[in-house]
Structures are given as structure tokens and as C-alpha cells.
Structure 1
Amino acid sequence: MDPIIALMQGVLDIVRDDNSGSPASYIPELAAVEPDRLGFAVVGPRGHVRSVGDDDVEFTIQSISKPFVLAHVLSRIGLDAVMERVGTEPSGEPFNAISLEEGTGKPANPMVNAGAIATTGLVEGGGVDDRTERIVRTLSAFAGRSLHIDESVYRSESTTGDRNRALGHLMRSYGIVDAPVDVALETYFRQCSIAVTVRDLAVMAGTLAFGGLNPLTHERVVEERVARDVLSIMSSCGMYDFSGEWLLRVGLPAKSGVSGGVLAVAPSQFGVAAYSPRLDRHGNSVRGQAIVTALSDRMGMHLLEPHESISQPIVDVVDTDEGRTIRLSGELGFAAAERVLAVLRDVALVVPPGAVIRVDAREVGRAHPAALAALKTEIDAIPGDVRIIE
């Protein structure tokens, strides 16, 4: 058996017996789901999706749609324009709290309902169908396949959505929502009703993990900066009023939904998703959180753990027909540039006068421009003939 599949199955077996929590009760269609469904999927940089459990069961995306609609709007109008309408601070309150910034009416962040409604109100288009089509197209690009809306869940959402309508009208009174409230709200209900599987969510997480590049289709869905900004907000706000403890214990940008989905991102490593409908008091999947927590712990995925591959890239010194060559691979940041310079100085001391030293950077996966510029400046000060091959 694939060792990663075996690890995933082991995690699933550990959490399976936890029957605490219950499905969301305030949306009738969600209250009626089978509570013991359990699925888990991961996707790496080569686009190989691994999954265990109920990996083909469709459920509605709910609030996990929020970061992806945010990515769409950021791509269209930019961060500053979005921040004029929506904040970026953790709210410390439940996801559906009727709470706006005093004086401005701005919602705390795009991951709570008020902020997501404001963000959805910024989606371009005329009516509900036009705006929804753009959202479905964006989320489908993130998932790497065509997604659709579960109409029965949408009707259930719309019928029971008075609290969200109240938020919409309140923000409209402050000028935060320009779109007609019914258009913004019905579009929001429809985006939350998009049907996905846990495999879809893993690919969507992977697209954020790899800077907006879908690992399955290799399509660039959003630019790197957009993916970075979305992950930044997810890090502090994605798990509602449990976000601080989540970042401490798990250390991954994440987003949950009241249907039982949890999506998490290990930047440049994995996209992770879990599904289990039983929720805790924060509205987060009990077993979904446990799955991602166990995976992060076992695979060392916490963002703030030291990662030597960044500070210590692979540096090989070889002799070729063209002379002494330093071959680089990995990521070239400031810490890595310091290590390369140390090796280069050592080599310069032992090669014959006038010998050419080549620095072959063609296998560097990522080179930060400022680090590369600093490296070139320092190389100019090293005695001898040093040439960079890029």
C-alpha cells in the first residue's frame, strides 16, 4: 500500500469513533445528512490526489466558498479596493454574528458571513444568475472540474436566511454593499450551495498551496500575490472564533464550512481536505479538525516550524570540462544566498588564479529577486572569474 495512503487510513481510523457534535440544524437540508460520513484527501505538487473514506460523496461547500470568491474579487479589483469594504481582523465572534465596525459598518473580515456577503456583493455582473455563473466558473477552475449547485440546499438556505438578509440590509445602509440586497444574498446562498467532494476541496486547497497554480490541470487560476493574500486572511480568520487556537496547535491556513468540510493549506507542500458533518460549538467539523491536526503533527506541516530546505538549499560543487561548478537547487532566499556565498568564497580560495567558477542556478525552483540581486552584488566582490548560469 502507498505509505501516504496507509498514514491517511490510520488517521481516519483514529478519529472515526469520535461521535461528538452534530450536523448543522438551522438549515433543514444539512440537518438531514448522514452524520457519520467521513472522508479525507490530500494533493501534492505533482497533482496526485490521494483519498480515503467517503471520498466520492458530494456535499455543499458552504463557507469554504468564501476564500475562493475573495480570490476572484481580489483578482478583479485588487486588495485596497476590497479593504475599503471589508476588514482583515479576526472577529472573535461567531461566524453569523450581527456585528459591524462602529461608524463605518465594515464587517471584520471576509471569512465571517457579513464579510462574505460584502465580498459577494463585489462580484461583477447584472443579476443573480450572471454573478453566480462567474463564481461557479472560478471555483470550478480551482477544483479542476466543472462544479454545480445543489438546488435543494439552495432553496433551504434561501428559505432560512433571514439573519443573513438582516446583515445585508444593515451593510447596505452603510454603503458597504452596493448591489441590491436580494441580488447579493441570493448569489451568496447559491455560492454556498455548490456541490463538492473532499477530493475537489483538496485540489482547491492545493491550488492555493502552489501560488494559484492548479496542481491537477496546471492552469494558473489566480496570481501568486492573490493566493498569498487569501492564505494570510485564512490564517487568522478561517476557523471563526477558534482561529487563534487553530493556528497555535495546527499552524495551517484553513477554512471550515457548516456542512462538515475542512480545507487546509501547507504552502508549497500539500492541499488537505476532510469531511465529517458533526460540528462543534464554533461550527467546525469535529472529526475534520482532528484529521488535519493529526496530519500536520505527523508530517511536520506547521507553518512556524523551521524548514531547512529554505535556509539550506542543495549546493553541489563539481568539476566539469569547463571548470569548477557550483550547482544550486531548491529555493534561493536571503538565508540560502548567504550559504551559497560561503561555499563560493571557499571555492575561490582553492582554485588556480584566473580559473572560471560557474554558479549553475538553472535547477533553482524559486529565486527571490532581492536575494538574487544581493547574491550577484556579493559575487562581484569575490576575486576571480565567477559566472552565473540562469
Structure 2
Amino acid sequence: MDPVREMLTSVLDEVRGEDAGETAQYIPELASADPDRLALAIADPHGRRIALGDEDPFTIQSISKPFVFALALDALGRDEVLRHVGVEPSGEPFNAISLEEGTGRPANPLINAGAIATTGLIPGPSAGERAARIVEGLSRFAGRTLQVDEEVYASEASTGDRNRALAHLLRSYGVIETDPHEVVEAYFRQCSVLVTVADLAVMAGTLAFGGRHPVTGEQVVSARTARDVVSVMTSCGMYDASGSWLIRVGLPAKSGVSGGLIAISPSQFGVGVFSPRLDEYGNSTRGQRLLERLSDALGLHVFEQHQSIATPHVAVSHGEDGTVRVALDGELSFGGAERVLNALRNVELPASSAPLLVDLTRVTQLQPAALAVLREQVDGLGGTVRVEA
């Protein structure tokens, strides 16, 4: 088995038996979801995707928020968007009235009030056309055409009075400059877009890789926009549990009440997970466990000490006896292993019995998952192989 897939399968199996939390009870279609569904996917900068577990789609819910924020930033510019919505942690639940005194500006775009304000910034003469533009933008992040789950939309709309109240309050401050009813209807539709866990991984990856889609290669949003969005996700993406999340997992993230969760390892991976049981903050309980284990296993915490995470020094030399020596210097991380693998793929052994030596004696920090991938590639080259550490 592919060592990466094997490691991800092991992580998935570790949390499968946990049953803390419950489905979102305030939206009927989500309350009736199968609580045992579980899935995990990752996407790397070269378009490789690995998805495990439940493949059926689910609604994106609040995971749509950072992507709509990105669309607004790219269309209007940072200064105009920040005139309508702030970027500070609220320290309050996602549906709280977290508005700036005097201006009515929501604390950030990842709580409901801020997300509704951001949706109102997307151009469109009607709720339907505004929603269509948003769905088209989310589809570009996913790399395929996405659809709205009409039953979930109807369920959201029938129970969305608090969000309507927030929209009217924002309109009273002038934060929303159009019909608040049309804005909130578009917001309900954006939350009801269907995605798979693989979609979430590539959408997260697009932000992780500076706005460039890892599969299609399209520059969906600018690198500056992607950086701004990831910055807000770091401090606000897990609502009033964002501080403890940053300590435990250390990855920019965003949750949704259907059970989806994305995480971003900048320049390395986009990750999507799904499990419908939620904690008291509205975040997937098993999803958090999955990402905590992944962060520990792969050394992905953004404040982990790194010397050269993406470009470890690689030197290839050929001895007089035919030995091919690949020497690594610095840190070998899971993401940085890609450069080493590219070098090994180009190695030509002079004879089938020629020894290949991968020398890790100068590696200062080695992630176990990176070593597993490296060993597999070296073994596949044939000859006599020795890996020194």
C-alpha cells in the first residue's frame, strides 16, 4: 500500500470509534444526518489527491465563508471589503451579534454576521443571480461544477430567522447596502452547496498554494487574497474555540455545521475531513481529532521550528565504483520530500547491481511520513539500496 494512504487509513481508523457530540439539531435536514459518516482527503501542490472513507456529498455550510470572502477581496480589494467587515476574533459563538460599536461592522467574515455582510458584497441584482455567482466561484475553487441541495436550502430557509434578523440589523447600520432579504437568501443557498471531502481538500489546497488550483492550475484568486484569507482563518476559523485549536493543531482551518472541516498547511497541503457529530462550538468532534493526529504525525503545526520546509538541499554524486550517492542537508519534511523524490526519479543507475546510497546523516529533522515515502521510491529504483540516518 502507498505509505501515505496507509498512514491516513491508520489515522482514520484511530478516531472511527469516537462518538462524542451530536448532529446540528437546529436545521432539520442536518439533524437527521447519519452521525457515523467519516471521511478524510488531502491534496498536494502537484494535484495528487488521496480520499478515504465516505465518498457521498454533503453541504458545505460555513466552510463556504472563507471562499466567498476570497471572492469579495479579489473583486473589490481589501480596503473596500474591510470597510464592511472586520478581521478580529469575536470570542463569541458563530451566530452571536458581534458588531463593532458605532459602525455595526461584524467582527470577522467567518461568523454568521460577517459572512452575510460578505455575501452582500458579491454583485448581483437578485438573490438568485448573486447566489449563482457565488456557486460559480466555489466551483472554480473545487475545479468542477457544484450544485445546491434544494432540500437543505429549504430547511435552512425555514429555520433561518436569526440570520434574517442579523441581515436587517446590518442593513440598519448601512453595512449591507441592498435588500437584506435577498442577501440572506443567497447566503442560505451558498451554505447549501454540495461538496465531497475531496472537493474540500482541493479547495483548501487552492488557498494553501497561493490561490492556484492544484489540479486545474487555474489562478482562482490572487496570492495576496489567499494569504489574507488564510490569515483570518488562523485566528477566527474555529469560532470561539480558535485559540485552543491553534495551540493543539496549529493549522488555519474552517468548520461547517454539516460536519465538514478544512485545514491548510501553507505551501504543503490542503486537507478536508467530514464527520457530522459536533461539539458545543459547532465544530466536528472526530474531524478535529483527525486533524490533530495528522498535524502531530506530519509536523504540520505552523509554528513548528523549521529550517527548510519546502526545499531541502539535495546533492547527487557518482562514485568511480558506480555508486550513486544522494545526500540531503537540512530538514526533510513531508512536503519537502517531493524535491528529493524528483531527484531520485531522474537517477540513472549504470548497472542493475549499482548501489544507490541515500545519505541522511546531515538531516537535522526528519518526519517519519517523509521517510516512509522516500523508502518506497528508493526501493522502486532497484539495485542495492542503503538508507543511512
- Structure 1 residue 126 and structure 2 residue 120: aligned? no
* One-letter amino acid matched to 2:20: S
2:220 maps to what in 1? 221
SS of alignment partner, residue 218 of structure 1: coil
- Structure 1 residue 27 and structure 2 residue 27: aligned? yes
* One-letter amino acid matched to 1:246: W
2:174 maps to what in 1? 175
* One-letter amino acid matched to 2:26: Y
Using the alignment, how far apart are the partners of 1:36 and 1:316 within structure 2? 48
Using the alignment, how far apart are the partners of 2:312 and 2:78 within structure 1? 33
Unaligned runs of 5+ in 2: 318-328, 331-389
4+ residue segments displaced more than 4 Å? 310-313, 315-318
- Length-normalised TM-score, structure 1: 0.80
Equivalences for residues 180-219 of structure 1 within 5 A: 180-219=179-218
What CA RMSD, in Å, does the superposition of the two structures yield over aligned residues?
A: 1.7
Q: CA deviation at 1:316?
A: 6.1
Unaligned runs of 5+ in 1: 319-328, 331-390
Q: CA deviation at 1:98?
A: 2.0
* One-letter amino acid matched to 1:274: V
Using the alignment, how far apart are the partners of 2:162 and 2:312 within structure 1? 52
* One-letter amino acid matched to 1:134: R
SS of alignment partner, residue 165 of structure 2: helix
Equivalences for residues 36-75 of structure 1 within 5 A: 36-54=36-54, 56-75=55-74
What does the per-residue CA deviation read over 1:309-330, in whole Å, with 9 as the maximum and x for residues that have no partner? 1598638699xxxxxxxxxx99
Q: CA deviation at 1:46?
A: 1.1
2:156 maps to what in 1? 157
Using the alignment, how far apart are the partners of 1:202 and 1:99 within structure 2? 30
Using the alignment, how far apart are the partners of 1:175 and 1:203 within structure 2? 36
* One-letter amino acid matched to 1:37: R
SS of alignment partner, residue 110 of structure 1: coil
1:380 maps to what in 2? none
Distance 1:256 1:312, change over 3 A: closer
2:88 maps to what in 1? 89
Q: CA deviation at 1:129?
A: 1.4
* One-letter amino acid matched to 2:22: S
Q: CA deviation at 1:306?
A: 1.8
What does the per-residue CA deviation read over 1:209-253, in whole Å, with 9 as the maximum and x for residues that have no partner? 100000011111001000000000000000000001111111110
1:376 maps to what in 2? none
Using the alignment, how far apart are the partners of 1:127 and 1:113 within structure 2? 20
2:267 maps to what in 1? 268
- Length-normalised TM-score, structure 2: 0.80
* One-letter amino acid matched to 1:229: D
Indicate the percent of aligned positions where both proteins have the same amino acid. Answer: 61
What does the per-residue CA deviation read over 1:298-349, in whole Å, with 9 as the maximum and x for residues that have no partner? 000011112221598638699xxxxxxxxxx99xxxxxxxxxxxxxxxxxxx
Which of the pair has more CA radius of gyration? 1
SS of alignment partner, residue 137 of structure 2: helix
2:18 maps to what in 1? 18
1:360 maps to what in 2? none
Using the alignment, how far apart are the partners of 2:316 and 2:50 within structure 1? 37
Q: CA deviation at 1:132?
A: 1.1
The number of equivalent residue pairs is 319
* One-letter amino acid matched to 1:143: A
Q: CA deviation at 1:136?
A: 0.8
Q: CA deviation at 1:179?
A: 1.5
